[in-house]
Amino acid sequence: MDFELTAEQKAFAASLDALLASSRTVDAARAWAEGSHGPGLEIWGRLAEQGVNALLVAEEDGGVGGSFVDLAVAHEALGRHLAVGPWIESTAFLAATLSGKEATAIAEGLVASVPIDGYVLDADVATVVGDGCVGDLAESVDITRRLFRCEAPAPGVHATSAGAGFEAACLAASAQLLGSAERVLADTVAYAQQRRQFGRAIGSFQAVKHALADVRIQLDFVRPLIHGAALALDAGGADAARSVSAAKACASDAAVLAARTGLQVHGAVGYTRELDLSLWLLRIQALSTAWGTPAFHRQRVLDSLLGERDVRQGAAR
């Protein structure tokens, strides 16, 4: 399998990075956390014009019929720049589930969410797809992810449901975790080069170097897992779900390591909400257990491997 991005995919990633880097995404995230959606929706619209919302929508429904690799590329950029809104729910879960006019609306940039495990993300601004009565705003570990209680969640819609929508959402969450972790690592390296103790930049201390190198290695292992899972989904292979779970479990672990290391290197200032880094730390904490915990995904990988073993042993008898 070739995990290298094509020239078109690299250009797509670069264009998204350029757009988001010039869009004051942190200011939009802070406003979104306070219930002011204007800046975030403006960014949503600009990304929709780039085709992000249409990636998984079939061409006959107005989409681009893109690949899951394209989806991973887009969501890594969304995570790196802290884009707000129900991106996973709209462009992954619903885009892979809906068809016809509903899918066309998603492709055209509809901000949509869906009841998941008794909660709806950003229900105060999104069109809620599926049955369910939206209740009060609930407390979320990530202040930019506004969760609303759903008093009557749609039957069968759970964060660990099987199906194309779940696999797409897991892949998107994995890519966002990778992008978020990459941003945390970059900001932490920059801080370590500037912060001085005992007359030296703390980045020159061996313990700090080793900690940051460990994060770099973990992230370098995660990216091919995500791209491999995307390729498996594109191919429709029998092991696609296993690949997705392997990517999600490892992405969660690597991102949490990046967040923990970033917090340690920054010291007490890392705990403050005034520091932009804190927004990525909270995003990682939320996404690491969203769409299946690491334990759930490891169990799914194990069950898949044991199932294959039983099949082989049965065929050998």
Q: Which of 171, 142, 144 is nearest to 259 (CA)?
A: 142
* pLDDT value of position 156: 45
Of 32-36, 145-149, 179-183, 312-316, the one with minimum mean pLDDT is 312-316
DSSP for 261-281, written as a single string? HHHHHHGGGGG-TTSTHHHHH
Whether residue 40 contacts residue 270, with contact meaning beta carbons closer than 8 Å, is answered with: no
The contacts of residue 268 (CB under 8 Å, 6+ apart) are none
Just give the CATH number of 164-306. 1.20.140.10
Q: Residue 191: is its pLDDT beyond 80?
A: yes
pTM: 0.92
* pLDDT value of position 206: 82
Identity of the amino acid at 137: L
Q: Residue 131: is its pLDDT beyond 80?
A: no
Write the pLDDT tens digit of every residue in 32-48.
Answer: 999 999 999 999 999 99
Instruction: Using a pLDDT cut of 70, give the percent of the chain over it.
Output: 91
Identity of the amino acid at 4: E
Whether residue 171 contacts residue 233, with contact meaning beta carbons closer than 8 Å, is answered with: yes
Mean pLDDT of 289-312: 87
